[in-house]
Chains A and B, each alone.
Chain A
């Protein structure tokens, strides 16, 4: 391996390239394999006024709670095992997301795919006749030029200034691997992004020759030409799933939701977990787990 071509950087170096007003795509799905260490680093930065594109989970919730989201492109925001994301709900109900762009899930895929293929749009039926057309008046339709003449929704291409995804394994140059059940749309987030700010965080950085040791070649869907920076982030998807390395930390997710119920408890949660860097976050989570285990033991 040639170390001079290593793309390994730290979270904060990746986030230093992000400017206010940019469009950021975040991979994963709901509360599954989210690049949370990059999201946490983004929370620590002073960038704001972001457009965020996501199959939303706690990534969207945290960025909304921090007041960093001006425009949000989403099909849903959910924590999966807990259906509703409290901070996203609060932001929507308070009207603090200046420009919500609500799409069907498949439309979001199509927008990213069009962006990654450098097409202006892709046609679909998903969205036609629904409220999505009512709340996005800029959406246009296109008529099939063939004999059927069908009118279809033209989903506009989504182009990103930056993309964050989290993978189970990667080599130092950005060849990355998912070992869980679903890639989600991580390849499209990277594909739809301008070169320069395409970041992959990973549980483990491994040698290129080890990429097929834990998974078949089918798992190599992200190659180094799609990636500008690699971030070593063990437990970096916490508290979302990162199968098979770890599942969702359901107890912590519940604590996150409970803390969102009022300003005081959210401040306490933020102070404890989100005020320091990634290693302080991980230590604070370990300490919290030990406390919970001790309390459980004591109540036996």
Chain B
């Protein structure tokens, strides 16, 4: 490993930061970077998190991505995942093929639902996730065809829709952050519209703006995303020894 961190390492840390302060809940990551982020947070600054092998078991210690030599500390079959998310004791980081200004997200289909131009996964657990537990997103390619004014199918519920529901859901609705190959974004604004939090090293604010298909709230001072510490670089190497992150995020 070289001295200067690769972009994938910076992004791994940005993903891990999503879970800071979460304590003893299920940190669930759908995808390589998401899983790396969850395991990195647990291995460093958020040691009480529960992480799974992506199949049906909670694992203790450091389980490399794709590794099978695991120390099981619990059982989490799909039924228990549903129970856990309905109980709110989970923070999931998903992917999204489209996302809008208020965090409505889409993994289901592109084009009209009735006869889509491209059928993707279907809504999966997105609707239940986003009204029940904290949800973050990792998007590998920040572009205006992903950051759109209106998503084609709402598989994940955004702030505007959650507010319309009101009550229990509006009070607890929690889209935490969006990490991309360019930047970190969140919804910590008065009306929960998406805001730029930081840009990764070498990225300009104008690059983010140019690749976002709606008006982004840009604070007067946008810092650079923080670099991994030596401890984090060590943990990243142990969690992803095969360097799968570099395939997700070429430098």
Contacts and interface: CB of A to CB of B under 8 A. Distances in A.
A148 B169 CA distance: 12
B116 A93 contact: yes
Nearest to A105: B125
B203 interface: no
Interface string B64-108: 000000000001011100100110000000000000000000101
A92 B123 contact: no
A74 B121 contact: no
Given A92-B109, A95-B114, A131-B113, A182 B78 contact: yes
A84 B162 CA distance: 29
B127 A104 contact: yes
Given A88-B119, A93-B119, A102-B108, A183 B125 contact: no
Contacts of B117: 93
A130 B125 contact: no
Interface in B113-136: 113-128, 130-132
Q: Could you say which of A89, A109, A129 has the most chain B C-beta atoms within 10 Å of its C-beta?
A: A129
Interface stretch (B33-41, B139-147, B148-156, B238-246): B148-156
B218 interface: no
Contacts of B221: none
A185 interface: yes
B25 interface: no
B57 interface: yes
B86 A132 contact: no
Q: Could you say which of A76, A84, A103 has the most chain B C-beta atoms within 10 Å of its C-beta?
A: A76
Interface residues of A, number: 41
B125 A75 contact: yes
B127 A150 contact: no
A157 interface: no
B155 A130 contact: yes
Interface string A231-274: 00000000000000000000000000000000000000000000
A109 B131 contact: no
A163 to B, nearest CB: 17
A104 B79 contact: no
Interface stretch (A43-51, A120-128, A282-290): A120-128
Nearest to B163: A129
A148 B168 contact: yes
A151 B166 CA distance: 10
B78 A102 contact: no
Contacts of B124: 75-76, 104-105
Contact of B165 (A77, A93, A109, A128): A128
A155 to B, nearest CB: 11
A29 interface: yes
Contacts of A106: 82, 85-86, 125, 128
Given A126-B86, A181-B55, A89 B119 contact: yes
Contact of B86 (A29, A125, A129, A150): A125
Nearest to B158: A129
B190 interface: no
Nearest to A90: B119
B57 A181 contact: yes
Interface in A104-148: 104-107, 109, 124-132, 134-135, 148
A89 B118 CA distance: 7
A132 B114 contact: no
A184 interface: yes
A131 B153 CA distance: 6
Given A130-B155, A183-B79, A92 B116 contact: yes
A173 to B, nearest CB: 26
Considering the complex of A and B, which 4 residue pairs feature the smallest CB-CB distances, nearest first? A126-B128, A181-B56, A130-B127, A76-B122
Given A125-B132, A134-B154, 6 more contacts: A89-B118, A95-B115, A126-B128, A129-B131, A130-B131, A135-B113
